[in-house]
Structure 1
Amino acid sequence: MSEVTLPEFSKNQLALRNGQDKPEIWVAYLGQ
């Protein structure tokens, strides 16, 4: 279940944790 919920869940978690303070995290995370 971790692998399935990881993309969407992590996305929200990263946004809350980083507080949109590290755009490079998104770039590296999305990798697109």
Structure 2
Amino acid sequence: MNYSQFLIDAIVLLSIISLAIAPLALRRFASKA
């Protein structure tokens, strides 16, 4: 397995997950404030 390719895939997955979770977290934070 190519380590750099695995690293790129992991970064892409993390960015997609964070983009998906960010609106929910912002909504929850806004409802608290």
TM-score greater than 0.5 by the shorter chain:
no
Structure exhibiting the larger radius of gyration computed from Cα positions: 2
Q: Which has the higher helix share?
A: 2
**How high is the TM-score relative to the length of structure 2?**
0.42
